[in-house]
Chain A
Amino acid sequence: MIKIVKRDEPSRAIFFFTPVLAIFLTLVAGGLIFYILGFKPFEALKFFFIVPIADKYGFSELLLKATPLCLIAIGLSFCFKSNNWNIGAEGQLTFGAIVSGGVALLFYEQEGFYILPIVILAGAIGGMLYASIPAILKTYFNTNEILVSLMLVYVSKLILDYLVVGPWSNPEGFNFPETRQFSDSARLPLLFEGLRIHAGIFLALAAVVMSWFIFYKTYLGFQMKVSGFSLKTAKYAGYKGKKMIILVFLISGACAGLAGVGEITGPIGQLHREVSPDYGFTAIIVAFLGRLHPVGIIFASLVVAITYLGAETAQIFMQIPKYTGQVFQGMILFFLLASDYLLFFKFKFIGSNK
């Protein structure tokens, strides 16, 4: 007989083990889905998870996709740790891209070392501005931040669409929905000849270090974590709850905005309709899979980035629909949440240990 018992306190070892378990279970379930769809499971999984990163180019693509995911997830970890449900990072990314893209267009055909920093800063500010809307509405009007941040995603994509089709569209562009190319000074430099990986990865790494420092070395980080555990305790301790909410939203908006900058000033170098393949939503999964821990998020962003690449490779080589990537992402989160059960409960074999 097996009995399920509640643990006295959550297990620390299992806390870091469950993400690995979740990935393993996702692979098993994924293989099963491939089998049902009529593909050879092992071959499909190989095309999905190994072939895409087997060479130098593939590895560069992996880092390219992992960069925005890591950056956004780091920002979201601030929100989620303090119990603020910002699920509109996709909108903050888009708005950051719009603002930085607009600034980059102002410097059209101009060169100068000062341009890139201004463009990057503009993206961060754009993301912050956009994130401040749900934050302010939550703190001063008691409005649900989940719904507001999500509605703003749709609005931001429509603003972008309006701009690239209308006033900002390239005058010599034969009515394609895209802007003019940014000048070289407004672009994040590529790191290696022939590869698409760009300097944006340093922004992500800086964000990782910054978040680690704030969470583990400052009083502010401690306050954020306490507010996440219990708002009452935080109030009792005299923390400024409202300021905290706005602050975490601004940090997370800035990170998402920077991810937007990377998407448009990196390999593409112009604004167009689809600045992000839902990185803002996928980063939510990355944040959870990384256990809201800076280092965990780095690993998680690499794992989840493979689902983007794998979906493309599997589509080309095996005609597996590319949406399988999203299915995998949803499953990872399902399995992760499910295996959290082991954090709080354990199986006890009755008879052996009484």
Chain B
Amino acid sequence: MIIDVNFVGLIIASIMASAVPLILASCGELITERSGVLNLGVEGMMIIGAISGFALMTVTGSLIIAVFGAMLAGVLISTIFAFLTQTLITNHVATGLALTIFGIGISAMIGKNFVGIPGKEFPVIFEGLKDTIPLLSPILFGHSIVFYFAFVLPFITSYFLKKTKIGLIVRAVGDSPESASNQGINVKLVRYACILYGGAMCGLAGAYLSMIYTPQWIENMTGGRGWIALALVVFSTWNPIKILIGAMIFGGLTIIQFHMQAIGVRIPVQFLTALPYIVTIIVLVVISRDSRKIRLSTPSSLGKSFYKDN
């Protein structure tokens, strides 16, 4: 049996493409969590991004407006979460759940008029180089700008957290809001910013799904990816580079089911579809078993409200 190297390259590229929304959402949520805020509304913010991107693209015809509009929609919806958890000191878990329920409802409401409309083609870059290098060409060239951004983002995020002053402040706020506050850092402001940034990235992840990955609007099209993104943050032990690895594993699981069906493997399709969820659970168990390691890498104030008397 001869394996065509370009075919292998194509499979790897398709795995990477399905990893993109996970990377974007996880990297956004990672920053939010590093500041000590647990936002369980990832799924809701993603679906809002998906419908906003698709709707804006259909209405205005401009891809740029659509992509940035989706990010703005993510920011707006996460502002609700930020206001509730930071200004009104509500419980992070309950507020995040409300955000997801609300987001799914409102996206379906807006999306009612956009069902069945075909999407637009999203421009790809470096398409001319597609046949230059065997194996590597399909991986490296001919993708959307969002694709490249997603694969650079973990490195930027890592650099930001480790090497920049603002990154240090974010970590300080997440690990010890009291001492950060005593140092004169405005904890509330930092957390607001991190929540809104997370919202923007989730919005972008959603827009990638509805505009690039499968260019159409389908109700509930995020299909649990937001929750997998949340699991990926735990998997990564709050290290952005490891998000890349995790997202590739889950991307791989998604792609494998298509190919196994194509080859005609006699496994029920429902089992293959369930695979990413089951693997998520197994991976979480393996990672969390070492409670000391988890405790050391989790931002110490994660999910706890901070209130300063003034």
Contact = CB atoms under 8 A, between A and B. Distances in A.
Interface residues of B, number: 43
Interface stretch (A48-56, A137-145, A204-212, A241-249): A137-145
Interface in B261-304: 268, 270-271, 273-274, 277-278, 280-281, 284-285, 288-289, 291, 294
B94 A162 contact: no
A220 interface: no
B109 A321 contact: yes
Contacts of A327: 102, 105-106, 109
B113 to A, nearest CB: 9
Contacts of A148: 281, 284
A329 B93 contact: no
B88 A330 contact: no
Given A337-B94, A338-B90, A340-B90, A166 B268 contact: yes
A151 interface: yes
Contacts of B104: 323, 326
A22 to B, nearest CB: 11
Contacts, number: 129
A330 B99 CA distance: 7
What bracket does the count of chain A residues touching chain B fall in?
35 or more
A106 interface: no
A323 B99 contact: no
Interface stretch (B13-21, B56-64, B130-138, B226-234): B226-234
Interface stretch (A92-100, A222-230, A281-289, A294-302): A281-289
Contact of B102 (A161, A166, A330): A330
A161 B270 contact: yes
A143 to B, nearest CB: 5
Contacts of B97: 87, 281, 284, 333
Contacts of A325: 105
Instruction: Report which residue of B40, B97, B101, B284 has the largest number of chain A beta carbons within 10 angstroms of its beta carbon.
Output: B101
B4 interface: no
Interface stretch (A110-118, A152-160, A182-190): A152-160
Contacts of A282: 101
A341 interface: yes
B125 interface: no
Interface string A80-108: 00000101000000000000000000000
Contacts of B121: none
Nearest to A337: B90
Contacts of A151: 224, 227, 231, 277-278, 280-281
Given A154-B224, A337-B94, A341-B88, A143 B273 contact: no
A232 B309 CA distance: 25
A252 B158 CA distance: 41
Contacts of A338: 84, 88, 90
A337 B91 contact: yes
B112 interface: yes
Given A137-B284, A154-B274, A326-B106, 6 more contacts: A147-B227, A154-B224, A165-B270, A334-B98, A337-B94, A341-B88
Q: State the 10 A-B residue pairs at the shortest beta-carbon distance, nearest first.
A: A330-B102, A326-B105, A323-B108, A333-B98, A327-B105, A162-B270, A337-B90, A158-B270, A330-B101, A151-B277
30 contacts: A141-B289, A143-B281, A143-B284, A146-B93, A147-B230, A148-B281, A151-B227, A155-B274, A158-B273, A162-B268, A162-B270, A281-B97, A282-B101, A284-B94, A288-B94, A321-B108, A323-B105, A323-B109, A324-B105, A325-B105, A326-B101, A326-B105, A326-B106, A329-B105, A330-B98, A330-B99, A330-B101, A330-B102, A334-B95, A341-B89
